[in-house]
Amino acid sequence: MSGQTLQAPRGTADLLGDRAKALAEVRELCAQILGQAGYEPIETPAFEATELFARGVGEATDIVQKEMYTFTDGSGRSLTLRPEGTAAVCRAYIEHGMHRRPAPVRLWYFGPFFRYERAQAGRYRQFWQVGVEAFGSPDPALDAELIVLLVRIARALGVERTELRLSSLGKPESRDRYRQALQAFLRSREDELAAEVRARIDQNPLRAFDSKDPGTQAVMAEAPLLLDFLDEEDLAHLEAVRELLGEAGIDHRLDPRLVRGLDYYTQTVFELVCPDLGAQSGVGGGGRYDRLVAQLGGPPTPAGGFAAGIERLLLAAGRFDGRFLDPAPDLYLLYTTTPASRDQRRRAFGILASLWEAGLAAQLEVTGRSLRRGLAQAAKVGARLAVLVGEEDRVALKDLGSGEQWTVPADRLVAVAKERLGGNGHPA
Ligand code: HAM
């Protein structure tokens, strides 16, 4: 039906103006912080074979069971919009033989992710993440490096009040022993648990720690803790990570009940929480996943990573609208008479292209404003100079601050404008 207005799907948002600029700014900032630490950018597709997430993230997770946007394409393949980045980056690591590169291989990405979740403040169906994955090192310094980078990104954005929660899930063998103990405990208290928790005692008993049900929470306060099942090696690893965080001046809290919603973790897990955000307080999280690469068909490769939600970081920084890339042009081009003649437009356009080429930020009047209104618009967008294009080959250059005006031959304009802007033109 033509003419009917349409809206963006629930849980998604158009990012306009300051919000779109904020996204670009955060990406730039992440590039700086992560580049400085030796991370290289990687971009993987927005969709992958469904099997990748089923095998990578884990069949029993909420993400795979209820949150994936899965569809069948024209040739009958099952594809899924990526709900997270780790499985995809591991797939790329294996597919491109990156294990043959000197270790460690440090990668980062920034992009949209998709989860069919109940949409609310801070929780969306399309959201943005910055993610980091590092392959080829079992050193606790790698875990600490990841945590420091997550905290650095949050701080650089102005997120002040955060709490870092840290724990260890141990090796899969320790976890299996723990799982059995936890299952036995849950069964012994079955009638006090929420139906949803009861139904998952076999498949995913750990999720019981996440339950919001008061009865379940009371039971879980007495549940055995994974930390008590770790072996010496796991405990030494955790201690080493804690010591290094102390060295970097990063406070943390050991949280033995920390549960991550993804199955691939081994040993270190962490979450950066901003209590000011209320229900959706996790701004970032990650951990080590030493078995995942092998599980996806690659060689055994110790690895770790994290991801942070961009919207949540910006909300926590209290500046979804705030300090942004400077959009003000150096120059604003307009016509001395309107409507502009074909010749005027041709020359103005040539000047515009040469200003851009020279690295100056410039905008051309394209809505037919009169000279007076055009000058008002130039001031409004924050231009420093106006270029008045008339019928001759010379143009007038007007300083919008002082009101001074000169006549300049068109072919000298770039040089004169640069001089006038004092070499401080905005980067193009
Ligand atoms: P995650 O904890 O599922 O981890 O997501 C990381 C962050 O993404 C969360 O802390 C949150 O800020 C943001 N986020 C998640 N879901 C939503 C949503 N529906 N709306 C808004 N923000 C959201 C991962 O995704 C792992 N891949 C992290 C990782 C990388 N672990 C190892 N390497």
In this prediction, residue 425 carries a pLDDT of 44
Name 41's bridge partners.
Answer: 108
In the predicted structure, residue 119 carries a pLDDT above the cut 90? no
Q: For residues 228 and 206, is the Cβ–Cβ distance under 8 A?
A: no
Compute the average pLDDT of residues 67-76.
98
Nearest CA to ligand 1 atom 13: 309
Nearest-angstrom CA–CA distance, 110 and 217: 36
Cβ of 133 closer than 6 Å to ligand 1, yes or no, is yes
CA 131 / ligand 1 centre spacing (Å): 9
Percent of the chain scoring above 70 in pLDDT: 96
Nearest-angstrom CA–CA distance, 129 and 111: 6
In the predicted structure, residue 395 carries a pLDDT above the cut 90? yes
CA 125 / ligand 1 centre spacing (Å): 12
47-69 pLDDT tens trace:
999 999 999 999 888 899 999 99
Nearest-angstrom CA–CA distance, 147 and 140: 11
Which candidate, 242, 46, 254, places its Cα nearest to that of 163? 254
Nearest-angstrom CA–CA distance, 148 and 103: 20
Compute the average pLDDT of residues 91-97.
98
Cβ of 143 closer than 6 Å to ligand 1, yes or no, is no
The three-state secondary structure class of 20 is: helix
In this prediction, residue 412 carries a pLDDT of 94
Which candidate, 419, 405, 397, places its Cα nearest to that of 333? 397
Q: For the whole model, what pTM was predicted? A: 0.85
In this prediction, residue 114 carries a pLDDT of 98
What b/e string do you get for 342-367 counting C-beta neighbours within 10 Å, with b at 16 or more?
eebeebbeebbeebeeeebbbbbbee
In this prediction, residue 319 carries a pLDDT of 61
Q: For residues 347 and 389, is the Cβ–Cβ distance under 8 A?
A: yes
Atom of ligand 1 nearest to the CA of 262: 3
Cβ of 127 closer than 6 Å to ligand 1, yes or no, is yes
Domains and CATH numbers, the chain: 17-171+231-316 (3.30.930.10), 331-421 (3.40.50.800)
Cβ of 86 closer than 6 Å to ligand 1, yes or no, is yes
Q: For residues 149 and 34, is the Cβ–Cβ distance under 8 A?
A: yes
In this prediction, residue 324 carries a pLDDT of 39
Nearest-angstrom CA–CA distance, 134 and 40: 10
In the predicted structure, residue 428 carries a pLDDT above the cut 70? no
In this prediction, residue 287 carries a pLDDT of 98
1-53 pLDDT tens trace:
578 899 888 898 888 888 888 899 999 999 999 999 999 999 999 999 999 99
The amino acid that residue 283 corresponds to is V
HEC assignment per residue over 240-297: HHHHHHHHCCCCCEECCCCCCCCCCCCCEEEEEECHHHCCCCEEEEEEECCCHHHHCC
Q: Which of 127, 163, 274, 288 to mutate to test the pocket of ligand 1 (most atoms within 8 A of CB)?
A: 127
In this prediction, residue 53 carries a pLDDT of 97
Compute the average pLDDT of residues 155-169.
94
> Where is mean pLDDT largest: 69-78, 352-361, 419-428?
69-78
Residue 373, H or E segment:
helix 371-380
CA 284 / ligand 1 centre spacing (Å): 6
Compute the average pLDDT of residues 146-156.
96
In this prediction, residue 117 carries a pLDDT of 93
What average pLDDT does the chain have?
A: 92
- For strands 47-49 and 78-81, give the pairing: antiparallel
In this prediction, residue 204 carries a pLDDT of 81
In this prediction, residue 224 carries a pLDDT of 95
Atom of ligand 1 nearest to the CA of 312: 12
- From the centroid of its chain, how far is CA 182? 35
Percent of the chain scoring above 90 in pLDDT: 77
Cα-based torsion angle of the residue sequence 371, 374, 380, 381 in order, rounded to the nearest 10 degrees: -130
